[in-house]
Amino acid sequence: MKVTSSAVLLHDSAFDVTLDRAVGPAGRVIEKHVLKHPGAVVVLARNAASEVLLIRQYRLPLRKVIWELPAGKIDRKEPRLKTAKRELAEETGYQARHWRKLLEFHPAPGFCDERMTAYTAADLTAGEAKPEPYEVIRPRWFGWDEVLEMIRRGRIHDAKTIATVLFVERFGQPA
């Protein structure tokens, strides 16, 4: 497929929406609205007892409050690890001395070019959270098996959280 046009229809502070058109070898055309995303990070922070830090927050598109790992968008092309450190501190108040990149994935490739990078964070120091004015975030520690059980029972249905936790459950946490 060859992309032949991409027109910006909406320019938002967080992302653009474009109308993209691509043509294939047999003249087949794909035309789609695409959400152009700056990229984001997700953080799996664990304490000395190996518990996992989840946050509870209202998600407007879902019209409900959900449990998920701390995460956030890249701010003006900042390095991804810097985003991870900033988002963990803003959303939970925690700073971590030990960081490792875990995996990368596209959460919604059907309509969005977002690339998400997951990090593990350890050796934590508690501090004061500084959420955005529109964010109401409640952090809480959970046991590893408790998080797995929440995923199994559908009490966690956030894709980045499921992918990141199950990746570590299957392949282990980087040293």
CA distance 23 to 8: 19
Stretch of residues binding Mg ion (CB under 5 A), selected from 31-39, 67-75, 124-132, 147-155: 67-75
- Cα separation, 28 vs 160, whole angstroms: 33
Nearest-approach distance from CB 116 to Mg ion, in angstroms: 12
Q: What order do you get walking across the sheet with 40-45 strand by strand?
A: 71-73, 40-45, 116-125, 95-105
CB of 2 to Mg ion, least distance (A): 36
Tokens 């490792």 sit on residue: 100
Q: Which is nearer to Mg ion, 58 or 141 (CB)?
A: 58
CB of 137 to Mg ion, least distance (A): 8
Told to check if 84 binds Mg ion by CB under 5 A, we report no
Measured at the alpha carbon of residue 69, what is the angle toward residues 71 and 48, in degrees to the nearest 5? 115
Q: Which is nearer to Mg ion, 72 or 121 (CB)?
A: 72
Residues near Mg ion (CB under 5 A), total:
2
Q: Which of 43, 44, 72, 99 binds Mg ion (CB under 5 A)?
A: 72
Q: For Mg ion, what does the binding mask look like between residues 99 and 138, x meaning CB under 5 A? A: ----------------------------------------
Name the residue with the smallest CB distance to Mg ion: 72
Nearer to Mg ion, 36 or 86 (CB): 86
**Residues contributing to the site for Mg ion (CB under 5 A):** 71-72
